[in-house]
A and B are shown apart, each in its own frame.
Chain A
Amino acid sequence: MSAGANTRVCVGAVAGAFGVRGEVRLKSFTAEPEALAAYGPVETEDGARSFDVTLTRPVKGGFAARLSGVASREAADSLRGTRLYVDRARLPEPEDDEFYHADLIGLAVHDTGGALLGHVKAVLNHGAGDLLELRRPEGPGTVLLPFTKATVPTVDLKAGRVVADPPEGLFD
């Protein structure tokens, strides 16, 4: 799966109804939780329904929000568990040397000699810098690669390719 194949990103989910006036409880998956409403209308996973989101107030576990077209508690409760998506194109352009996790996940990682090292499974950060978790082609295990200019000199999103120069001992 290349970055281009991921045209939508999941930014939140409906946790259930909130109150009796048609509000919903939203869980936000964005880096800044309030940004959930900033990316314009959100869609359901199948794209069949679209909602304008208005966050009303923070509540335990997320936000109380109004979704356009949802006016009753029953309608709000029927959306429980629905994941909300926005087009990747609506996210602002990242700065130099910044990459959306959604763009990196799925990219093929090659070493400087052209050999395939794996595919990006996830991007992690445990406090000491970002790490790319690679799914190895030959087995179920994963390897963590520091996401630095020295270790990952090239990220070509258009070609769906990352070139890595891993330090010795990383793949042992």
Chain B
Amino acid sequence: MGRSVWKGPFVDSYVLKKAEKSRESGRNEVIKIWSRRSTILPQFVGLTFGVYNGHKHIPVNVSEDMIGQKFGEYSPTRTYYGHAADKKAKRK
């Protein structure tokens, strides 16, 4: 069962403050956060967060289709490298 709509999405307040400060400054920076539980809000689109995974901060470029998810979903706590084989990376 999902969170009640009347409560609104949960975001740690310090994340909101840091995001606002970064947007106002207009600098190209990684906003380091430890709050994996915070919801990604529309005002975060275009910013880059460094989301802590217990070991280091994983850069997360927020795009529109990530709105409503939690930051922690993009910062896995375990790394599996696998084989390069024919896998491709797209530079966006």
Contacts and interface: CB of A to CB of B under 8 A. Distances in A.
A31 B89 CA distance: 11
Given A128-B66, A168-B27, A29 B82 contact: yes
A105 to B, nearest CB: 6
B59 A131 contact: yes
Interface residues of B, number: 33
Interface in B57-74: 58-63, 66, 73-74
A152 interface: yes
Nearest to A6: B84
A99 B85 CA distance: 12
B29 interface: yes
Interface in B30-73: 30-32, 48, 50, 56, 58-63, 66, 73
A77 to B, nearest CB: 23
Q: Which of B30, B56, B86 has the most CB of A within 10 A?
A: B86
B88 interface: yes
Given A128-B62, A128-B74, A145-B59, A100 B28 contact: no
Contacts, number: 114
A148 B31 CA distance: 17
Interface in A1-16: 9-12
Contacts of B86: 9, 11, 30-31, 35, 39, 91, 100, 102
Interface stretch (A43-51, A55-63, A119-127): A119-127
Interface of B: 27-32, 48, 50, 56, 58-63, 66, 73-76, 79, 81-92
